[in-house]
Amino acid sequence: MEEFLGAGRDKENKIMFVVLLSYKKPLEEIEKYLAEHRAFLDQGYATDFFLLSGPMNPRTGGVIISQLASREQLESILKQDPFSVHGLADYKIIEFQAVKYHRDLSPAYAKFLTKTNSSDLLNELANHPLADRGVLSHEFMARGCTNWKEALCYVNQIPYARNSNSNHFHLVLEEGRGTCSTKHALLVALAEEQNLPLQLMMGLMEMTAEKFPVLAPVLKKYNLAAVVETHCYLGYQGERIDITFPEKITYPSASDFLKEWNITPREIGDKKISLHQKEMKLWIAEKKISYTFEEMWRIREECIDALSAAHV
């Protein structure tokens, strides 16, 4: 039971699962262990294992929707279900990546994420309620966000993809997608309305296959160890918060970047690109890369496309 109670509280990226239970015994047998089964579910909710559950209609089994670190972890937990212990049900597990959801579900889902991706810094943001002080504030409150922690998690769950205009961070809400630049710029613009000392930071980093496994085919294709990229994130109380990719909130350190700058939400477009291109030219020369700047920029574009495709 100790493993059951502790396994769900890690901070790593979670995977979504649908569990289909099929009863192998008559309902009379099922009813004998129903109270124990529900107690098992209650423990799952208390430890943030389960999101939803309920019986099928007709009542030939049940459904559980779960979010955990791995399929193996889920299988280990399900073995403790009294229905499994007493041989009353078979279990079919379907794994999927949740990247879109109905607008009415998103506030509730964001609140669930504030538990599974908890940190002292993130929890501290829950102490800052949102006030209706401007256009963006009104937009977030209309989406069910009541404090900064919920607003941050709400933007985190928006799919990663480029906006139609990289200069306009407000398109994140309108188009339902965003990048590291537009997502974090949106939150800093909201912070300006709320008088919260949130900073928009930009760091120069090397994207490697180790850090971004999805880039391995592109880097291998061009025989490169890395591609240099400018990445945006938040600065708050001397710490860094990165909410770029759905269901994954991270806290980078200064050592993750070659250089860092503070910028404004209005500088995420042309100015950011100009600085990125300047730094890439210096990086190519320093690393003695055989490709020209134009070639490296096209390779970088392939990397960004690969990242977008992985999170659609």
Closest CA to 234 of 125, 130, 141, 126: 125
Q: How far apart are CA 268 and CA 136, in angstroms?
A: 18
Task: Report if residue 171 sits inside a domain.
Answer: yes
Whether the full predicted model's pTM is greater than 0.85, yes or no, is: no
Task: Report if residue 101 sits inside a domain.
Answer: no
Domain end position, chosen among 96, 116, 134: 96
What is the tally of structural domains in the chain? Answer: 2
Do residues 297 and 250 share a domain?
yes
Task: Report if residue 146 sits inside a domain.
Answer: yes
Are the C-beta atoms of 199 and 234 separated by less than 8 Å?
yes
Per residue in 79-99, pLDDT (tens digit) is 999 999 999 999 999 998 766
Do residues 76 and 131 share a domain?
no
Q: What is the mean pLDDT of residues 186-212?
A: 93
Domain that residue 176 falls in? 106-310
Do residues 126 and 272 share a domain?
yes
Do residues 251 and 152 share a domain?
yes
Q: How far apart are CA 216 and CA 226, in angstroms?
A: 9
- Count other C-beta atoms under 10 Å from residue 226's C-beta: 19
Do residues 119 and 37 share a domain?
no
Domain end position, chosen among 96, 124, 144: 96
Are the C-beta atoms of 163 and 171 separated by less than 8 Å?
yes
pLDDT at position 103: 56
Which residues pair with residue 266 across a beta bridge? none
pLDDT at position 44: 86
How confident is the prediction for the chain on average, in pLDDT? 86
Do residues 84 and 112 share a domain?
no
Kindly write down the DSSP assignment for every residue of 67-102, as one continuous string: EES-HHHHHHHHTTSHHHHTT-EEEEEEEE------
Domain end position, chosen among 67, 96, 125: 96
Do residues 69 and 195 share a domain?
no
pLDDT at position 115: 45
Per residue in 13-52, pLDDT (tens digit) is 457 899 999 999 999 999 999 999 999 998 888 777 888 9
Do residues 12 and 116 share a domain?
no
Are the C-beta atoms of 215 and 303 separated by less than 8 Å?
yes
Per residue in 128-174, pLDDT (tens digit) is 899 999 999 999 999 889 988 889 989 998 998 889 998 899 999 99
Residue 262 has pLDDT above 80, yes or no: yes
pLDDT at position 45: 83
Q: How far apart are CA 112 and CA 121, in angstroms?
A: 17
* SS3 category, 285: helix
